[in-house]
């Protein structure tokens, strides 16, 4: 067997007004399930499987909270990029409400998602 691959992680700020409720949680789970990587999500001292709806919802992640997403496996980097994209677009909720998302992409080295920089569109 090959050597152990180090976990990759990113910290993101929950942009949604009502936090990671059912719709964004379902989107996150769907994206996570599309990758082979083992993907975990942690917030507020709790950790869950990002491929499990219950694992994501039980975190109780509210707007403004920092979540840490950790992935390991051959497609871990791609998984983190896809999940980061969901957060950067506020899971599509801001577009539905007619406002531009106020987020920028973080570096995958663990820097938090900045919520104070406007994205022009």
Is 87 among the domain residues? yes
Domain membership of residue 76 as a residue range = 8-97
pTM beyond 0.85, yes or no: no
Is 40 among the domain residues? yes
pLDDT tens digits, residue range 23-76? 999 999 999 999 999 999 999 999 999 999 999 999 999 999 999 999 999 999
Dump the DSSP string for 1-68.
-PPPPPPEEEEEE--STT-S-HHHHHHHHHHHHTSSSEEEEEETTEEEETT-HHHHHTT---TT-EEE
Is 93 among the domain residues? yes
CATH number at residue 81: 3.30.1340.10
Is 120 among the domain residues? no
Q: Provide the pLDDT for residue 70.
A: 98
Is 115 among the domain residues? no
Is 62 among the domain residues? yes
Q: Provide the pLDDT for residue 113.
A: 42
Q: With a cut of 70, say whether residue 121 has pLDDT above it.
A: no
C-alpha–C-alpha distance, residues 84 and 86, integer Å: 5
Q: Provide the pLDDT for residue 94.
A: 64
Is 67 among the domain residues? yes
Q: Provide the pLDDT for residue 93.
A: 79
Residue of 9, 21, 23, 81 marked active site: 21
Is 45 among the domain residues? yes
Active site residue 21: yes
């Amino acid at each position: 067997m090959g050597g152990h691959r180090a976990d990759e992680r990113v910290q993101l700020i929950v942009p949604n007004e009502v936090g990671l409720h059912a719709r964004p949680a379902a989107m996150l789970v769907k994206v996570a399930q599309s990758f082979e990587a083992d993907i975990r999500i942690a917030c507020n001292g709790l950790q869950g499987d990002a491929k499990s709806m219950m694992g994501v919802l039980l975190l109780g992640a509210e707007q403004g909270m920092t979540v840490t997403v950790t992935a390991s496996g051959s497609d871990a980097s791609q998984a983190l990029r896809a999940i980061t994209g969901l957060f950067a677009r506020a899971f599509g909720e801001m577009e539905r409400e007619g406002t531009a998302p106020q987020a920028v992409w973080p570096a995958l080295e663990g820097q938090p998602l900045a919520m104070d920089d406007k994205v022009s569109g």
